[in-house]
């Protein structure tokens, strides 16, 4: 009899917990939604704050590259750096945030800080298929500013590996992809076939 009562109590607690979760889920509770255009809806901005690192990454990335799509130009890179740094306070091992910080520092003219942030991103996630293309473009920018010594500071194996991963993501041979980044010509050797 005691086991049945404990079982019912446990079941009641489970149902209560599930009901609380359902009440907080925007997909199941219209009160948790904000109406959008047409019949569309979205979670309020405060909902994005559940993951402050991701939230700051998205805001920082939009600050860096969002303005390039219209006549206003990019936002102030130093304020964008602050967004990435705020995300890193919460998630210091986030390779995406470090990569974003590297871009913000480069756009702010701070090649040394950019190189340090890029090195940290490469260390945390050496061969990320999603990050490799933007890393390769940033590396080319840094090589243009500081010369090929950048490759040795970052680690030539990491740089060439990212170039290879980026090329595979674009479904081309690494040598073909390398043609798009002229300052890295001759820096890496790849086997073909």
- Select the more confidently predicted residue: 139 or 54: 139
Q: Distances in Å between the alpha carbon of 191 and those of 99, 147, 153, 170, 174? A: 28, 25, 24, 17, 9
Q: Where does 51-186 have alpha helices with state H?
A: 52-65, 77-90, 95-107, 111-124, 132-146, 149-154, 156-169, 174-178
Helix axes of 52-65 and 77-90: crossing angle, nearest 10 degrees: 160
pLDDT in tens, 142-165: 988 888 888 889 988 888 888 888
Q: How far apart are CA 133 and CA 58, in angstroms?
A: 18
Predicted TM-score (pTM) of this structure: 0.66
To the nearest 10°, the Cα dihedral for 98, 56, 91, 137? -20
Residue 34 bridge partners (DSSP) = 42
pLDDT in tens, 85-122: 988 998 899 999 999 999 999 988 899 999 999 999 99
According to the per-residue pLDDT averaged within each range, which of 41-50, 121-130, 159-168 is highest? Answer: 121-130
What one-character-per-residue DSSP string does 142-168 give? HHHHH-THHHHHH-HHHHHHHHHHHHH
Q: Tell me the backbone φ, ψ of residue 158, rounded to 5 degrees.
A: -65, -45
């Amino acid at each position: 009899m005691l086991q049945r009562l404990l079982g019912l109590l446990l079941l009641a607690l489970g149902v209560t917990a599930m009901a609380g979760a359902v009440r907080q889920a925007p997909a199941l509770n219209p009160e948790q939604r904000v109406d959008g255009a047409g019949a569309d809806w979205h979670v309020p901005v405060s909902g994005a704050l559940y993951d402050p690192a991701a939230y700051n990454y998205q805001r920082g990335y939009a600050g860096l590259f969002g303005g390039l799509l219209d006549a206003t130009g990019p936002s102030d890179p130093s304020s964008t750096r602050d967004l990435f740094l705020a995300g890193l306070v919460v998630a210091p091992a986030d390779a995406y945030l470090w990569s974003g910080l590297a871009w913000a520092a480069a756009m702010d003219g701070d090649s040394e800080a950019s190189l340090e942030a890029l090195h940290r991103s490469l260390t945390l996630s050496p061969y990320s298929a999603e990050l490799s293309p933007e890393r390769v473009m940033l590396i080319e920018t840094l090589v243009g500013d500081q010369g090929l010594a950048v490759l040795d500071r970052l680690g030539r194996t990491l740089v060439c590996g990212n170039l290879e991963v980026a090329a595979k993501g674009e479904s081309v041979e690494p040598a073909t992809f390398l043609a798009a980044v002229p300052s890295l010509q001759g820096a890496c050797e790849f086997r073909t076939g």
